[in-house]
């Protein structure tokens, strides 16, 4: 069976010879020059979004900033799609192939940080772009406008499309878009994410499901009549204890984490309501579903033991990313043409100082200028993304650019700091250029798309039918309003 599988993939990817070797042609040079000419404008836009730091489904001002250049470029922009007011689709052209970019632009709560190489929250605190989505969205807009102008001047046929996807951090907007069929006619998706290095390899992620478990008890005076009460918080604590014991008996690659959302009111009242949010992850979806079943048993057992009741509401559900080697190699070749991020003396000083606040894992400031060698079999990333759902229905690849100082981890103050200054903006333009050049290759060589599609079909297997893990729930438009 293994021999057959190897031969099947060997035959399948034989056409890749010659397809993935990108060259810096005159039209590509023109696109790079165009992006360089407008890099300050896109950098300024990204910095404004960094300052806004709007949370998921609340990105109203960020939406205006991102869509303005698209409208100005003459693209058809549709706002409020798939039941999400801050989601959008921008499009130019007609017919096949349909090449799509993605844009994210939500921040994270409690991650306020100045653009300085030491820990310092901005006045008033609040949220911050600790995952670099202000750069993500801005780079994707830059690449989209560049390709639109190139298509217009060159007369190339096809469609360029940009999906504005809000609330990646827990809201999962892309899942609702896929569920509504908005990617059904797309031929390939090229996307990226901020990072601490420049890399494009066929990386997969963890599948994930998240939900809120709400316990309901009986309120009573905690001192005068405790025997009359049944504590919902006891239910939450008992559930958490059982799940923590369960960790000894789950697959090694699994991840289970939680936070108490509401623990009750005054301490002299037996809590009538308490809730806890869980996220469960594993490389494959069947295991995630089974772990969810076991966590639910713990919740029911906790409710039984505390004489409370419990209900569970699914909040998120992401497929693991179906990596596409065909597209990943194509983007790697173009990333290699573009090159990495070179620091000025001032940026070098910033990087050196900020690296003193964490373990750089053998990296140096000069690592930002390097292109990580292509790895056909990279390890699975222990994170989850709603890009996963897209990747199971459309050939998809995602690269990373060094928007952060090398060695920085996501969701950290160091990521916010670098993302708020020139280092982040330089990395952003590396991504914009790499995506744009890769789109040119796909428009000029549609046979590459066919190879990518065959790869996706082979990896998915026969009989696949997309069914979202979230079921039929509505987008959680208010899930960040209390932050």
Provide the residue ranges of all domains of the chain, joining segments of one domain with +: 2-204+322-460, 207-318
Query: How many whole angstroms from its chain centre is CA 190?
Result: 13
CA distance 37 to 422: 16
Mean pLDDT of the 303-317 span: 96
Sign of CA dihedral 5, 7, 13, 17: positive
Residue 9 near residue 458, CB atoms below 8 Å: yes
Question: Domain 2-204+322-460: which topology?
Answer: Aminopeptidase (3.40.630)
CA distance 454 to 173: 27
Q: State the chain's mean pLDDT as an integer.
A: 95
Q: Helix-strand-coil percent breakdown of the chain, rounded to 5?
A: 45, 20, 40
CATH number of 207-318: 3.30.70.360
Stretch (H or E) spanning 240: helix 232-246
Could you say which DSSP state residue 320 is in? P
Percent of the chain with pLDDT over 70: 96
CA distance 253 to 280: 11
CB-based burial label for 468 (10 Å; 0-12, 13-18, 19+)? middle
pLDDT value at position 18? 40
Per DSSP bridges, beta strands 98-103 and 158-164 are parallel
pLDDT value at position 9? 43
CA distance 455 to 329: 13
User: Bridge-partner residues for 317, per DSSP?
Assistant: 209
pLDDT value at position 23? 87
Report the chain's C-alpha Rg in angstroms.
24
7 pLDDT tier (thresholds 50, 70, 90): very low
User: Number of C-alpha atoms within 13 angstroms, CB side, residue 466?
Assistant: 23
Per DSSP bridges, beta strands 255-262 and 84-94 are unpaired
pLDDT value at position 425? 98
Reply yes or no on whether the pLDDT at 343 is more than 70.
yes
Strand ranges inside 196-343, DSSP E: 207-216, 255-262, 273-282, 309-318
**3-state SS class at 207:** strand
Task: Compute CA distances 85 → 64, 88, 177, whole Å.
Answer: 12, 8, 13
Reply yes or no on whether the pLDDT at 19 is more than 80.
no
Reply yes or no on whether the pLDDT at 419 is more than 50.
yes
Nearest to 458 by CA among 399, 375, 395: 395
pLDDT value at position 482? 81
Task: Compute CA distances 20 → 13, 16, 166, whole Å.
Answer: 11, 6, 32
pTM: 0.92
pLDDT value at position 8? 41
Reply yes or no on whether the pLDDT at 1 is more than 90.
no
289 pLDDT tier (thresholds 50, 70, 90): very high
Mean pLDDT of the 177-201 span: 98
Mean pLDDT of the 347-367 span: 97
Reply yes or no on whether the pLDDT at 5 is more than 50.
no
Reply yes or no on whether the pLDDT at 3 is more than 90.
no
């Amino acid at each position: 069976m293994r021999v057959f599988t190897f031969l099947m993939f060997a035959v399948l990817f034989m056409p890749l010879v010659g397809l993935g070797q990108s060259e810096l042609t005159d039209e590509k040079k023109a696109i790079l020059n165009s992006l360089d000419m407008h890099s300050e404008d896109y950098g300024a836009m990204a910095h404004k979004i960094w300052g806004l730091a709007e949370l998921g489904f609340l990105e109203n001002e960020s939406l205006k900033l991102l869509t303005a250049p698209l409208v100005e470029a003459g693209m058809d922009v549709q706002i409020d799609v798939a039941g999400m007011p801050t989601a959008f689709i921008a499009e130019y052209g007609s017919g096949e192939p349909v090449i799509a970019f993605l844009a994210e632009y939500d921040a994270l709560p409690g991650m306020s940080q100045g653009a300085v190489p030491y820990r310092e929250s901005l006045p008033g605190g609040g949220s911050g772009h600790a995952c670099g989505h202000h750069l993500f969205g801005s780079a994707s807009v830059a690449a989209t406008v560049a390709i639109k102008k190139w298509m217009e001047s060159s007369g190339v046929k096809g469609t360029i499309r940009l999906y504005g996807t809000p609330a990646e951090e827990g809201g999962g907007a892309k899942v609702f878009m896929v569920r509504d069929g908005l990617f059904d006619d797309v031929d390939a998706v090229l996307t990226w994410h901020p990072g601490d290095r420049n890399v494009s390899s066929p990386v997969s992620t963890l599948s994930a499901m998240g939900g809120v478990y709400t316990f309901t008890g009986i309120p009573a005076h905690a001192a005068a009549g405790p025997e009359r009460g049944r504590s919902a918080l006891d239910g939450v604590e008992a559930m958490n204890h059982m799940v923590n014991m369960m960790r000894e008996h789950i697959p090694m690659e699994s991840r289970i984490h939680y936070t108490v959302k509401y623990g009750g009111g005054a301490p002299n009242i037996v809590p009538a309501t308490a809730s806890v949010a869980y996220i469960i992850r594993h490389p494959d979806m069947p295991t995630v579903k089974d772990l969810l079943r076991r966590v639910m048993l713990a919740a029911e057992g906790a409710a039984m033991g505390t004489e409370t009741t419990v209900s569970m509401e699914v909040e998120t559900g992401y497929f693991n990313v179906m990596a596409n080697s065909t597209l990943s190699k194509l983007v790697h070749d173009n990333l290699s043409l573009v090159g990495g991020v070179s620091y000025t003396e001032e940026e070098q000083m910033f990087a050196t100082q900020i690296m003193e606040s964490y373990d750089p894992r053998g990296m140096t400031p000069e690592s930002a200028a390097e292109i990580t060698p292509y790895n056909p079999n990279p390890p699975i990333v222990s994170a989850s993304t709603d890009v996963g759902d897209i990747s199971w229905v459309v050939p998809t690849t995602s690269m990373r650019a060094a928007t952060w100082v090398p060695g920085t981890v996501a969701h950290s103050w160091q990521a916010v700091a670098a993302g708020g200054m020139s280092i982040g903006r330089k990395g952003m333009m590396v991504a914009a250029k790499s995506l744009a050049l890769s789109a040119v290759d796909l428009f000029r060589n549609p046979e590459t798309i066919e190879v990518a599609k065959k790869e996706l079909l082979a990896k998915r297997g026969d009989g696949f039918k997309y069914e979202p893990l979230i079921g039929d729930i509505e987008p959680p438009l208010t899930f960040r309003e209390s932050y």
